[in-house]
A = this chain, B = another copy of it.
Amino acid sequence: MSISSNSLPNDIRRVAAEAGVSIATVSRVFNNPNRVSAKTRRRVLETAARLDYRPNLMGQNLRKGRAQAVGVVIPTPQGRFSDPFFLELLTGLGEGLAEAELDLLVTTCPPGPQELACYQRLVESKRVDALVIARTRRHDERIRYLLQRQTPFVAHGRSDQISQPYAYLDMDGRYGFYLACKHLLGLGHRRIAFIGVSSELNFAHYRLEGYQQALAEVGLIPDPGWILEGDLSEESGYRLTQTLLATTLPPTAILCANDLMALGALQALRELDFKAGQEVSVIGYDDIPLSQYTDPPLSTVHQPIRKMGQRLVEMLLARLNGVAVAELQEVWVPELVLRRSDGAPPV
């Protein structure tokens, strides 16, 4: 509010001078309030307020050897748009971090070899205290790197090929798609296709397994031509669905490894005049907010993304407070939410 009389740098020195104390005292007022007498404390607080003083974060951080920030890098595929999943995750993270006085440093990076460099920059220039990593891969060099650097992090998703323990929060994707596939089988489907993505992505691997397991239990082995690999974009879901339906005996149901691809699938069905949910069933995965507004509303495997974001922050804070990683490994059980994009196969 009040504009300071002269416009000297508004640093701790100025507050000290105006309050007639040393800068150490000012600092103590903020960091260790009961180490300074009530009288001077009050005086310092007053002048600080009057001058709109706020400690310079760079000074603080340099001295304290921290960054007061956690990083997250979101993969941004070139032309396509990013998965709404990340926005939800981000807001989940943001809410928790604000309370802990931490900021969120968001870097975007096209997936590929440059990605690791991105993490390295953040870590090695000490720009962040910790990281959240998402979309883990089976052989995840990011995790390997962070472990080796001993940089705290939590992962959204596991990484199977890493032996050393680390903190993660994952959904049981195998169970999720086991459930979904079981459900389709129960409805009478026998020709069920799977639109996935490179099994190098850890979650894709599990989701595929769930699908296969459910089929195996009823003695079915899927036609290899029905297990396709997309790239998580709605466009690839669209394209692959088209090819699936072009076959002589097309599947009556399609499991998509994420909602975005499921959206593409629905679109393809629509254009080919297939009634989704009646002639061909589609089930997605993620339950991104928009999946309830598609036509028909998408049946999918629900992931409480925002809540996961919040929990990830809790885990990260625990990690920063020295809680052992062994206690910071969680796998949540997803649930199937049925809307209108699934149904019995045509007779």
Contacts and interface: CB of A to CB of B under 8 A. Distances in A.
Contact of A95 (B76, B88, B103): B76
A293 B94 contact: no
Contacts of A95: 76, 108
A322 B187 CA distance: 66
Contacts of A125: 54-57
A97 to B, nearest CB: 8
Contacts of A290: 84, 263, 290
A243 interface: no
Contacts of A58: 58, 61-62, 67, 126
Nearest to A114: B98
> What is the predominant secondary structure among interface residues of chain A facing chain B?
helix
Given A52-B124, A58-B62, A125-B56, A98 B107 contact: yes
Interface stretch (A198-206, A245-253, A264-272): A264-272
A295 interface: yes
A43 B107 CA distance: 32
A9 to B, nearest CB: 9
A294 B295 CA distance: 6
A105 interface: yes
A227 interface: no
A104 B58 CA distance: 16
A267 B82 CA distance: 24
Chain A contact residues (Cβ within 8 angstroms of B): what range?
Answer: 35 or more
Given A270-B295, A295-B294, A105 B108 contact: no
A223 to B, nearest CB: 28
Contact of A104 (B61, B81, B106): B106
Given A59-B62, A84-B84, A105-B105, A266 B293 contact: yes
Contacts of A293: 234, 263-264, 266-267, 294
Given A56-B125, A234-B289, 13 more contacts: A56-B62, A59-B62, A74-B91, A94-B106, A95-B108, A104-B106, A104-B108, A105-B105, A106-B106, A234-B293, A263-B290, A266-B293, A295-B296
Please list the 6 inter-chain residue pairs (A to B) with the smallest Cβ-Cβ separation, ordered nearest first: A295-B295, A94-B108, A81-B289, A87-B87, A58-B62, A57-B125
Interface of A: 52, 54-59, 61-62, 67, 69, 74, 76, 81-82, 84, 86-88, 90-91, 94-95, 98, 103-109, 121, 124-127, 234, 263-264, 266-267, 270, 289-290, 292-296, 306
19 contacts: A55-B125, A56-B62, A57-B126, A58-B67, A58-B126, A74-B90, A76-B94, A76-B95, A81-B91, A86-B87, A94-B107, A103-B105, A104-B108, A105-B105, A263-B290, A264-B293, A267-B292, A290-B290, A295-B295
